Amino acid sequence: MTEAERHSHRRSVVVAGAGIPGLTLALALAQANGPALSVTLCDPGLAAGAARHAGRAYAVAAGGRRMFERLGVWQTALPAAQPIRDMVVSDSRLADPIRPVFLTFAQDRSEPDGAPFAHMVEAEPLAKALLAAAEAAGVAFEAHGITEATATARGIRIVRNDGQAREASLLVAADGGRSRLREAAKIGWVGWSYPQMGLVATIGHERDHEGRAYEHFLPSGPFAILPLVDGGPLGHRSSIVWTERAADVPALTGGGPEETLAEIERRFGLNLGRLALERGPSAHPLAFGLARSFRAERLALLGDAAHVIHPIAGQGLNLGLAGAASLAEAVTDALRLGLDPGSPDVLARYERARRFDTLAMGAMTDGLNRLFSNDVLPLRLARDLGLGLVDRLPALKRLFIGEAAASRGSLPRLLKGEAL
C-alpha cells in the first residue's frame, strides 16, 4: 500500500445506517471537511430513498432545529415543520368525564430568536432534504449493509454484504437498536422491555390545533397528541403516540379501522371536532437500553445503536442528533489538528460528551413512565401535586423547557447553531 493510500484510509469515515442521525452525521462531516475527508453512507434502505421514512414524525427540539439551519436543510424541510407553541398535561382515568389540567408549557420566550422550543417534523421530507444536501456535499451512497468490521493496524476493514471490502479510519454504527455491528464488537447492552407497545397514527380533525400539544396520562400509559402541518381531507392533522399495555393492543386495534378510530376518539377527546384515521396505527414494542460503551476500536455507536428510551418525553431523536453533533465535532477537530479521526482519544471525547446526558435522559423517561403508567392512588396524588407545583414555579418550568429544547448546559457547536 502506498503512502497516499494510507493517508486516504486515515481520512475516511463510513456511516452504517441512513436514519435521521446517520444522515445528519454524514452531512455534517462532509460539509465541515470537504475533500479532506471521504464520507460514505451504507444502508440497504437507501434504495428506497426518503420514502422509507413515510408515516413517521418527530419532535425536533430547538437545538436540533438550529443544527439543521446551520447544515442548510431546515428551509427545505420547513413546509413540513409545525411549531409546538404550547403543551397541556393532564392526568385522569379513561372513563373520567373531566380531564384536569395540571401543567402547561408555553412557547419559551427566553430562546434567543424567540422560536418555539420544538417543532413536529414529518420524517419523509426531512430525510429527503438531508439526502439531497448530503449528495451535494459529496457523501457517497451505497445501498448495501455491512456484514463484517475488523480493526487493523491502519484502520478498520469493512466488508459489505456483496463481498466488497474497504478500509477506513472510522466506522459509525447507526444501524438501530438491534445493531449487528454493536454485537459483533462485543459491546454489552443493559436494558429491558416494557409491558407496553407504542401505537403511532396520523389523525385528521376539523378544528385547528393552533400548535398545541397534549399529553394525557392514563393508567395504561401516556396518550400524546402532537400537531402536524395542515392538510388531509378534514383540513387539520395531528400525530398520536399512544402507549398501551401490550396485552391489550390486539383487542384495541384488531377490529378494523372504525373500531380502532372509536378507541382513539375515547382518548383523543372532542375539542378538535370530528376525527378521521389518515394513517396507521402501527405498533412498536417499547424498551429501554443503553450500550455499556459508545465505542470500540475504530467504531462509534450512534442513535438507537447506543441508546433506546421510552417515547414519553419525545426525546429519542434529539438524543441521536446530539450524538451526531458531538461526534462530528470531535472528528472534525481531530482532522484540523492533523490527528487520526478514528483514534481512541477522539472516540473517548465523543463518549464523555454524550454518556452522562444519555443516561440521565434514559433514567428520567423510565422513571416518568413508571410513575405515570399506573392507577395507584397514592402515586396519582403525589404526581398530580408535583405537576401542580411545577406549574406554579415559572423558573422551574423554564428550566424544564430549556432542557427539552437543548438550550441549556454545555452543547456541541452545531446544536448552538455554530459552524464546526
List pLDDT tens digits, range 198-245.
999 999 999 999 999 999 988 898 999 999 999 999 999 999 999 999
| 385 pLDDT higher than 80 | no
| 277 pLDDT higher than 70 | yes
pLDDT tens, 89-126?
888 888 887 787 777 777 655 455 567 889 999 999 99
In a domain, 204, yes or no: no
- Write the CATH number for 172: 3.50.50.60
Q: Count of domains in the chain?
A: 1
Predicted confidence at residue 2, as pLDDT, reads: 41
Question: What is the CB neighbour count within 10 angstroms for residue 211?
Answer: 16
In a domain, 8, yes or no: yes
Confidence of residue 400 (pLDDT cuts 50, 70, 90): low
Q: CA 142, CA 399: separation in Å to the nearest integer?
A: 43
Collect contacts of 348-351 with beta carbons under 8 A, ≥24 apart: 348/295, 350/294, 350/295, 350/300, 350/323, 350/326, 351/293, 351/294, 351/295
Q: CA 304, CA 289: separation in Å to the nearest integer?
A: 9
Rg (CA), the chain: 22
Grid coordinates representing 153? 493496524
Percent of the chain with pLDDT over 90: 70
Question: What is the CB neighbour count within 10 angstroms for residue 157?
Answer: 17
In the three-class reduction of DSSP (H, G, I as helix; E, B as strand; rest coil), residue 407 is classed as: coil
Range of the domain at 380: 3-191+288-416
Q: CA 162, CA 119: separation in Å to the nearest integer?
A: 40
In a domain, 251, yes or no: no
| Residue pair 286/195 in contact by the 8 Å Cβ criterion | no
Amino acid code (one letter) for 43: D
pLDDT tens, 338-372?
999 999 999 999 999 999 999 999 998 888 888 87
Confidence of residue 3 (pLDDT cuts 50, 70, 90): very low
Q: CA 181, CA 165: separation in Å to the nearest integer?
A: 15
In a domain, 367, yes or no: yes
Using DSSP bridges, classify how beta strands 38-42 and 12-16 pair: parallel, antiparallel or unpaired.
Answer: parallel
In a domain, 122, yes or no: yes
In a domain, 390, yes or no: yes
In a domain, 208, yes or no: no
Predicted TM-score of the model (pTM)? 0.91
In a domain, 148, yes or no: yes
